[in-house]
Structures are given as C-alpha cells and as structure tokens.
Amino acid sequence: MKTDTKYTEIEKFKDALDSCTKCGFCMAGCPVYREEKKESSVARGKIMLIRALLDGEVEVTDEMAEQLNRCTLCMTCAQNCPAGTQVPTVITAARADKVKRRGVPFPYNIVFRWLLPRRRLFGWTIRLASWFQRIFLPKTEGTLRHLSFFLSALGKSRHIPQIAPKFLRESVPEVNKPPEGVKVKFTVGYFTGCMTDFVFPELGQKIISFLTKNGVEVIIPRGQGCCGALVFLGAGDFATGRKMADTNVKAFKDLDYIITDCATCASSMKDYVKFLADTEARKKAYTAYAGKIKDITEFLVDVVKLPASAYHVAPEFKGKTVTWHEPCHLGRYLGVKEQPRKILKSLKDIKFVEMPDADRCCGMAGTFSIYFYDLSQKIAEKKAESISSTGADIVVTDCPGCQIQLMDTLKRLKMPQEVRHIMELVE
C-alpha cells in the first residue's frame, strides 16, 4: 500500500482505519444512512474514502470535504461494530488533514479562529447579536425567536432561544460558597460552556445553588473559554483547538474536579489528549485535565453520593410526565447512563417514562446541523416520534445543544412538549 504521509493526522489512527472489515453492521444505527441510504453516508463508506486518500487515489475535493462533514460523530457505528472500529476518531482526524490542505471556509474561519477563542470579544459579539435578535427577529412563544427568511442561510428558519439579557458570569461571583453552617465537602470548578453562559444562565444559577446547599464550593474561573468542540471536532481546526484547550487547562489548573452541565463539552475536553496533544507537555497536562472532568449527574451520584431524599422536584414540574433524551456524548462517549436516570427516579412528584431509543442521535452534532440543517431535522423527527410515543409533558436532557435542537424540532412540528435540562427539574 502506498501511503501518502501528507495525511499525518489520519496516520496516527491507521490501526483504527485498518480494523474495519466492511461487514456493514454500521448501517443499522447510523442516523445519516437511515435518511439517505447512500454508501458514502455510512461509516464503511467513509472508511473507504479515507483509505483512498492515503493510497493517493483521490484528493480532498469539495465533494470529499462534504462527505467528511456529513457525519454526526454519534458513535453508533462504533457501538455496533463487531471489530470495535472507532470510525468517529478516524473521521475527526481526516477533517484535520482536510483543514491543513484547504483551510477553514469563510465565514466559519472568522467565527472559529477569531471569535470563539477570544471570550471577551465573543461576549461583545453575542451582545450585539442579542440586540439584533430583540429588534429584528420575530418572536414565537416563550423565549424562542424565529430566524427570518433573510437569515435562512445561517439557520434555515431555525427557532433559536433568546440570548440572555445578562450572562451567567455577570450574574454570579467567581467564588460561590455554601451557606453559613453548611460544611464544605468539595471544591469544584464549573465549566459553564457557551450555551449556559450566554443563553441559559438561569440553569447555571440553579446548579450553583443546588451544589452550594449540598456542601460544594463552586469556582467559576473567569479565564475559561469555549470547549472547542465546534472548532477541532466539527471543523477539524486542531491548531485553534490547541489554543482553546491550553486556555481551559490553565484556568482550572488548581482544582480537583471540573463539572459541566453539557455532555458535549465534557466529552470534547476529555478528547484534548487524543487529538491535540502534540507535545509531551501537552499530553501530560491534557491527561490530568481530563481526569478532573465530571458531568453534573455523574458528580452528584458517583462523587457527592447524594441520597434519593436530597432530590426534590421544582414546584412547576410537580405532577408532570417526564421522559429522557440521552445525548450521544453522555452515553456512548462518557459512559454516563444510569446516573441521570437515578436522579429522575428520585423525583417522587413526577412520572418518569423511558423513551424508546432514548440514546438515538437527535441530529444536532454542532457544525453538522449548521452545514446540513434539513438533514439534521429529518434525524430529529425520528426523535420527536419517540418523544410523542411516551405521552410525556416534558423531555429532559443533559446537553444544551441537544436542548436547542429538540426545542427547534418540537416547535416546528407544533408538538406540545417542553424541553428542559435535567437540573432544571431539581428544586
């Protein structure tokens, strides 16, 4: 086999590439293949395309670049693969080699390389967008606004939540101590992410309140930034991803635990060492950082070990029927499955109903839903059918990205269910 060493990121995961036996078991669960029924849409087909790159049989054309982006990285293929082939890893590496050869296209290069890594500038931009949103975007029910036709190139008429008038880190101090008389059991850093900080600050406030009342001191380092998932996993821009990773590692260096309310952020930051550790120093730092990260449900159940009696449902949700959407990054990537269900089952004043295919991808997948919005909505409609079958009043999840996707889908389909983060249900 003639190997083209120009594809250096793919070469790092060549063992995973070569482990594919072309059996086709990946077809059964792939959300993209379910909609398109094309060989190039499924893991096996993408593996063959990437092999062709290494063999020098093809170059990274526009069509090839689109096929590499046409994947949610949900890891269903790896879950169903008898050989355990980690196709999402290979695809991420191929995206990085694509960027080395072709760069990041406009306007994403501006957003990913100049806005997201600069938290203050990004905040100012969000603030400007908030003003634009309030003035120009027609409002739908609640806090959702509809992207008008003239913005359809960005959102394909997507319903989006209203940007918060006051961001989380403007609303809470950097150090949040338990109330007087409550002993400090743990001190943690809270990685707020972009969505909780800018769109759902009330979720962050609720998490801080719940943790402090249960003896957890919460630090919100002002130096933290975006997790970088859109940049290095979605777009394949590893160079910018490293800058963002270094920023977060430095911000949380003196803390024993880093909690998140976003499965995508948690999973992506744990992947710093896999994709971005280009030196021994970074490998050591990223490995230590990954070991501190805990999803909020994982932290409460496995570390704090709160009893069931500690969880009380917020008054507005009493008597409601609730179902659970399991984010791909939470279940398949982090292996956190039972912890959120344990919390939901501890809430005595709700009825919890397990959703069919609760772990099926909702189609959000960061940049995937930007590049292929119509396809992402077809995937989401399958999730909507599962939600409807439960008869639930509320669908809860543990990823603000999934939350936005489900809010958009249910609003578009005129379905009555509310979409909430799991920690919103807890009083």
Decide the pairing of beta strands 216-219 and 175-176: antiparallel
Query: What is the pLDDT, as a whole number, of residue 308?
Result: 94
Question: pLDDT by residue (tens digit) across 256-299?
Answer: 899 999 999 999 999 999 999 999 999 999 999 999 999 999 99
Query: What is the pLDDT, as a whole number, of residue 40?
Result: 87
Which parts of 77-211 are beta strand (E)?
A: 144-146, 159-161, 175-176, 186-191
Query: What is the pLDDT, as a whole number, of residue 369?
Result: 87
d(CA 221, CA 350): 35
d(CA 330, CA 338): 11
Classified as helix, coil or strand, 311 is coil
How large is the average pLDDT for residues 228-242?
93
All residues at 6 or more sequence positions from 153 whose CB lies less than 8 Å from its CB, including other chains: none
The C-alpha angle 304, 307, 309, rounded to 5 degrees, equals 135
How large is the average pLDDT for residues 403-423?
95
Asked if pLDDT for residue 135 goes beyond 70, the answer is no
How large is the average pLDDT for residues 304-310?
95
Classified as helix, coil or strand, 59 is coil
Burial (CB count within 10 angstroms: exposed 0-12, middle 13-18, buried 19+), residue 243: middle
The CATH code of the domain that includes 314 is 3.40.50.1860
Query: What is the pLDDT, as a whole number, of residue 139?
Result: 58
Residue 238's identity, in one-letter code, is: F
d(CA 296, CA 186): 13
Contact assessment for residue 48 and residue 57, using Cβ atoms and an 8 Å cutoff: no
Domain endpoint, select from 101, 119, 146: 101
Tell which wins on pLDDT, 137 or 172: 172
Q: Which residue has the tokens 């975006």?
A: 226
Contact assessment for residue 227 and residue 263, using Cβ atoms and an 8 Å cutoff: no
Domain that holds residue 335: 308-424
Domain endpoint, select from 46, 68, 101: 101
| Domain presence at residue 347 | yes
- Angle between helical axes of 373-390 and 400-412 (0-180°, round to 10): 80
Question: pLDDT by residue (tens digit) across 67-87?
Answer: 999 999 999 999 999 998 999
96, containing H or E segment:
helix 87-102
Residue 89's identity, in one-letter code, is: T
Q: What is the dihedral of CA 279, 257, 74, 204, to 10 degrees?
A: -130
| Domain presence at residue 406 | yes
CA dist 412 to 307, 320, 378, 405, 416, Å?
39, 23, 12, 11, 11
Question: pLDDT by residue (tens digit) across 151-202?
Answer: 444 455 667 777 888 899 999 999 999 999 999 999 999 999 999 998 899 9
Residue 90's identity, in one-letter code, is: V
Q: What are phi and psi of 397, to 5 degrees?
A: -150, -175
pLDDT category at 13 given cuts 50, 70, 90 is: very high
Express as a percent the part of the chain with pLDDT over 70: 92
| 352 DSSP 8-state letter | E
| Domain presence at residue 136 | no
Domain endpoint, select from 67, 83, 101: 101
Q: What is the dihedral of CA 332, 333, 335, 340, to 10 degrees?
A: -80
Q: What are phi and psi of 325, to 5 degrees?
A: -100, 120
Give me 202's structure tokens: 């009330």
Tell which wins on pLDDT, 35 or 60: 35
Asked if pLDDT for residue 24 goes beyond 90, the answer is no
| Domain presence at residue 159 | no
Query: What is the pLDDT, as a whole number, of residue 152?
Result: 40
Q: For the chain, how many structural domains are there in total?
A: 2
Express as a percent the part of the chain with pLDDT over 90: 71
Concatenated DSSP letters of 177-217: PPPTT----EEEEEE-HHHHHHT-HHHHHHHHHHHHHTTEE
How large is the average pLDDT for residues 215-227?
95
Q: What is the dihedral of CA 352, 355, 361, 364, to 10 degrees?
A: -50
The C-alpha angle 274, 275, 280, rounded to 5 degrees, equals 70
| Domain presence at residue 381 | yes
The CATH code of the domain that includes 64 is 1.10.1060.10
| Domain presence at residue 276 | no
**What does the mean pLDDT of the chain come to?**
89
Query: What is the pLDDT, as a whole number, of residue 55?
Result: 82
Residue 181's identity, in one-letter code, is: G
| Domain presence at residue 335 | yes
How large is the average pLDDT for residues 39-65?
88
| Domain presence at residue 336 | yes
Residue 139 CA to its chain's centroid (Å):
26
Per-state percent for the chain, helix, strand, coil, to nearest 5: 55, 10, 35
Asked if pLDDT for residue 318 goes beyond 60, the answer is yes
Asked if pLDDT for residue 347 goes beyond 90, the answer is yes
d(CA 280, CA 203): 37
How large is the average pLDDT for residues 27-49?
92
135, containing H or E segment:
helix 119-136
Query: What is the pLDDT, as a whole number, of residue 4?
Result: 42
Query: What is the pLDDT, as a whole number, of residue 151?
Result: 42
